[in-house]
Amino acid sequence: MAVPKKRTTKSRRDKRRLHIFLKKPSLAKCPKCGEFIFQHTVCSFCGSYKKREVIDVLSKMTKKEKKKREKEIRVKEKEGEEVKMKRPLSWQGLSKKQ
């Protein structure tokens, strides 16, 4: 049976294992509610996929949970609208800011 002549150093061992590590999952924002979800999957928060409602998430909840979730969704939609409503400054507006 083969026996190594010298002990493998930590640096040599770690160089060999360099490519073995955990990667962050690639997440995308749901276009409807703004939650971070895995790409190409149905949003578990609002039940939509590609801006279409696929699953009725609210039907499986109790009344308290429904109210809370609906309120959160309304708040996130308002935030999204506010971001869209803000217009970029024109050249004149930029010169006034200085």
For 82-94, the pLDDT digits (tens) are 666 666 667 666 6
Q: What pTM, to 2 d.p., does this model score?
A: 0.47
Whether the CB-CB separation of 46 and 35 falls below 8 Å is answered with: yes
pLDDT at position 11, please? 94
**35-44, 64-73, 74-83, 85-94: which range is least confident on average?**
85-94
Backbone angles phi, psi at 64, to 5 degrees: -60, -45
Report whether 37 contacts 27 (CB < 8 A).
Answer: yes
For residue 12, pLDDT over 90 is answered with yes
Using the predicted structure, report yes or no on whether residue 30 has a pLDDT greater than 80.
yes
Rounded Cα distance, 83 and 3, in Å: 66
